Structure 1
Amino acid sequence: MRALLFGNSGSGKSTLAQRLAQTHALAHLDLDAIVWEPGQIAVPRAPEAVLASLHAFMDGNDRWVIEGCYGELVEAASGRCTELVFLNPGQETCLAHNRQRPWEPHKYASKAEQDSMLENLQAWVAGYYERDDAWSYAAHRRIFDAFAGAKRELTAPAG
């Protein structure tokens, strides 16, 4: 199994990815771990370094689950997945999930630091259906609709 999960922040990607990783003994990659400079908030790594990390993960693991909102990386990995999963539970669910999100120590030094970013995150999430960037609903919809392999769109929370 090589599952590729994508959708808005708060859509349930991490929850589903962790469940799949545990149930099926899959290597797990949260794309946030390769997109941002380690130990820094919202400082992007060079795009070529990100792609190299993505390919190294896929090359180094026969069975995996990858999750994230980054349309360009989803497209880069889609040719190697056995199933594409678009998590699209709606804006209100995503906003609620973000308000309930436990501390993510792999992303933030403290819960207080994570909470200080919530207002910006919520504004970004709320714009998902209006934006037209690589991390928007429009981009995710295009990726999903164009994918010819096995795919699912989940419109209910994956919890």
Structure 2
Amino acid sequence: MKKKQFDKPLAQNKKARHDYNILSTVEAGIVLTGTEIKSVRASRITLKDGFAQIRNGEAWLMNVHISPYDHGNIFNHDPLRNRKLLLHKKEIQRLVGETSNKGITLVPLKVYIKNGFAKVLLGVAKGKHDYDKRETIKRRDQEREIRRTLKNFR
């Protein structure tokens, strides 16, 4: 009996769901060095200002900060280096087509370990305007208030 292993996210980009409308998602592997994967497993990764780009038929994860490994030595990595993403060619072509439209970008939503490998969930996203953000907050508060009143009725 083979059991699927889904661990909790090591890092989440909560700001991305606030600033963008997520149109679709895709899972990609990340090419990491030895000390980087140790830092990722220790949840020392920040996705806040990160984004992904497709250059020369390859997907790259940019501006994602992985802290240097505490017990590393001279072989420690650069915290903000660009990291290659592992995707199938058809997935890359689909992402190129989707991001060619104006205002569409790739943002990392979360990083997790799946079957021993580091994975990133990329979202194809369209930026929100300020009034969209206010509308989202208002709707979330209304839903919270409805749940609270229904809970009190039981």
Same fold (TM over 0.5): no
With the length of structure 1 as denominator, give the TM-score of the two structures. 0.24
Which protein is richer in helix relative to its size?
Answer: 1
Larger Rg, first or second structure (1 or 2): 2
Higher relative CO (Cα under 8 Å, sequence separation at least 6) belongs to 1
Structure in which a larger fraction of residues adopt strand: 2
